[in-house]
């Protein structure tokens, strides 16, 4: 193995994951090609000229479907890449949903030229090669093996072996590791050995609290039932939406919340993304597979597809629960619900996923009393709560446990984390695992292997 170029998710950032790997013989592959998300400075990075030649790539490997890992794949088409993009079958279905949604949103934005159109998305879909967990994929100078990362449906950690080197150097890309065990997807698979590891560190400085997500959601719904209020749950379309619906399904079935309490799923992508969760049984947990009915459906659930119907939710009787995108309140339909309901004391806002710096969700979570939404000053009187146990990311103990299983590690690159998370995880790796060469890489920098 010759070198790795960190092209995103370095420099203490949690978006834009992308890594260029160069083999001993000079051939190159790309692992992930994600979109930068957050403030304008970050989003501007999506428009920079590429620092590599897509046409020179031997292959592209995708760990999972989330936009910050897959969102710039269509740009490869502009660069002349027409090779294969390797991913699991569920990832392929989810990628089509995510990239299509991204293209549609971009076309409606009058302030920027779209990064790509549906034409490029369709070309990307034609380049995808589906792979199975545990099966060797040989391409050029590399052999790849996908392992279940337990993060979302079809998510992977990827082992890559440089067959052009005499020592057959091996590197592992963790992708996003799951908060295993989770109620919907199978547990994270462990990896036996590797020379190098590129590892996420989103929650590298903390352990998730020992809480029961079902009990928290029941409490929050019961409170709005008592107060005739509204519970807002901003969600990511993939995994979080399905997990919330699954929990509410059980709460209604067990009589812990009222059957008549309306629950609005107001996320077109969340609606579309739920379908693959019913297609790919072999990727799901035993609990989901043991259901005799649809685990994401229940009495009182209203599916909101049309944006006009979304606006009409305000006229529906309380109490009600609104499950809407986006998860960090950085866009999507949760925005107009926030405008309507944050100023009301009978509103409850429940965060169920990571809130990145500079996002509206992060500002509210940190206690902002007034926020600006679509240019309007909004007073926050709603009661705010966060569930960390529902995160689809591994916490520090799980990250350490995953890395501990990998024998022979000489060097670790910590990415996809803010500075405090990366630094604390680096200390833990050095003190507990004895791996001293831990790098907090910078975006745009090449590192010898």
Q: What is the DSSP secondary-structure string of 231-277?
A: EEEE--TTTHHHHHHHHHHHHHHTTSS-TT-EEEEE-HHHHHHHTHH
**Tokens 């009978």, residue?**
346
What pLDDT does 421 receive? Answer: 97
What pLDDT, in 10s, does the model give residues 144-202?
A: 999 999 999 999 999 999 999 989 999 999 999 999 998 899 999 999 999 999 999 99
Instruction: Tell me which of 183 and 248 has the higher pLDDT.
Output: 248
pLDDT greater than 90 at residue 38: no
pLDDT-wise least confident of 40-44, 173-177, 234-238: 40-44
What pLDDT, in 10s, does the model give residues 333-347?
A: 999 999 999 999 999
Residue-wise burial string across 117-137, b where 16 or more C-beta atoms lie within 10 A, e elsewhere? eeebbebbbebbeebebeeeb
What pLDDT does 32 receive? Answer: 98
Element (H, E) at 54: none
Q: Which residues, 6 or more positions from 20, have their beta carbon under 8 angstroms from its beta carbon?
A: 4, 5, 7, 28, 29, 30, 52
Q: What is the mean pLDDT of residues 259-281?
A: 92
Strand ranges for 49-89 from DSSP E: 57-61, 85-87
Nearest Cα neighbor of 267 from 216, 221, 336, 318 is 336
Say whether pTM exceeds 0.85: yes
What pLDDT, in 10s, does the model give residues 51-109?
A: 999 999 999 999 999 999 999 999 999 999 999 999 999 999 999 999 999 999 899 88
Confidence band for 292, pLDDT divided at 50, 70 and 90: confident
**Tokens 């994401």, residue?**
296
Confidence band for 40, pLDDT divided at 50, 70 and 90: confident
Question: CA triplet 278, 279, 282: central angle to 5 degrees?
Answer: 95
Q: What is the mean pLDDT of residues 307-312?
A: 95
Q: In what order do the strands lie in the sheet with 128-130?
A: 128-130, 85-87, 57-61, 28-33, 18-22, 3-8, 445-448
Using CA atoms, how far apart are residues 248 and 221, in angstroms rounded to an integer? Answer: 9
- Count of CA atoms in the C-beta half-sphere (13 A) of 148: 21
Using CA atoms, how far apart are residues 184 and 288, in angstroms rounded to an integer? Answer: 6
Domain ranges of the chain: 3-206+392-448, 213-386
What pLDDT does 170 receive? Answer: 98
Residues in the chain: 449
Confidence band for 372, pLDDT divided at 50, 70 and 90: very high
CA distances from 50 to 45, 70, 326, 377, 412 (A): 10, 15, 28, 38, 25
The fold for domain 213-386 equals Rossmann fold (3.40.50)
CB 153 within 8 A of CB 191: no
Instruction: Say if domain 3-206+392-448 classifies as CATH 3.60.15.10.
Output: yes
What pLDDT does 354 receive? Answer: 86
Query: Would the CATH topology of 3-206+392-448 be identical to that of 213-386?
Result: no
Instruction: Tell me which of 183 and 436 has the higher pLDDT.
Output: 436
**Tokens 């459906």, residue?**
297
């Amino acid at each position: 193995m010759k070198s790795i170029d960190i092209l995103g998710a370095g420099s203490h950032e949690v978006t834009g994951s992308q890594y260029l790997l160069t083999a001993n013989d000079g051939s190159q592959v790309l692992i992930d090609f994600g979109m930068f998300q957050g403030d304008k400075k970050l989003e501007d990075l999506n428009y920079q000229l590429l620092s590599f030649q897509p046409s020179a790539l031997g292959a592209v490997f995708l760990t999972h479907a989330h936009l910050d890992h897959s969102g710039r794949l269509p740009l490869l088409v502009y660069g002349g890449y027409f090779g294969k993009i390797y991913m699991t079958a569920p990832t392929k279905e989810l990628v089509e949903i995510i990239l299509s949604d991204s293209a549609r949103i971009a076309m409606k934005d009058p302030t920027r030229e779209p990064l790509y159109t549906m034409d490029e998305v369709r070309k990307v879909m034609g380049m995808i090669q589906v792979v199975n967990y545990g099966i060797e994929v040989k391409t050029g100078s590399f052999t790849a093996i996908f392992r279940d990362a337990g993060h979302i449906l079809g998510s992977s950690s990827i082992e890559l072996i440089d067959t052009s080197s005499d020592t057959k150097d091996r590197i592992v890309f963790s992708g996003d590791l799951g908060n295993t065990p989770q109620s919907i997807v199978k547990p994270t698979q462990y990896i036996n050995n590797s020379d190098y590891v590129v590892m996420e560190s989103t929650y590298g400085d903390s352990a998730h609290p020992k809480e029961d997500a079902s009990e928290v959601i029941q409490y929050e719904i019961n409170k709005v039932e008592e107060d005739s209020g509204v519970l807002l749950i901003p969600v990511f379309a993939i995994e979080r939406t399905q997990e919330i619906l699954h929990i509410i399904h059980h709460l209604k079935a067990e009589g812990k919340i009222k059957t008549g309490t309306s629950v609005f799923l107001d996320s077109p992508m969340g609606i579309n993304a739920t379908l693959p969760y019913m297609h790919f049984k072999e990727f799901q947990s035993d609990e989901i597979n043991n259901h005799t009915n649809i685990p994401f459906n229940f009495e009182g659930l209203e599916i909101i597809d049309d944006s006009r119907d979304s606006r009409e939710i305000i006229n529906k009787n309380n109490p009600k629960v609104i499950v809407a995108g986006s998860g960090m309140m950085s866009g999507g339909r949760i925005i107009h619900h926030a405008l309507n309901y944050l100023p009301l004391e009978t509103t409850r806002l429940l965060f169920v996923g990571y809130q990145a710096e500079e996002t509206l969700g992060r500002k509210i979570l940190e206690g902002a009393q007034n926020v600006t939404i679509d240019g309007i000053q909004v007073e926050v009187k709603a009661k705010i709560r966060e569930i960390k146990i529902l995160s689809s990311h591994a916490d520090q103990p799980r990250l350490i446990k995953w890395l501990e299983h990998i024998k022979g590690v000489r060097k670790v690159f910590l990415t996809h984390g803010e500075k405090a998370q990366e630094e604390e995880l680096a200390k833990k790796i050095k003190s507990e695992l004895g791996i001293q060469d831990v790098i907090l890489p910078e975006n745009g920098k090449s590192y010898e292997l």
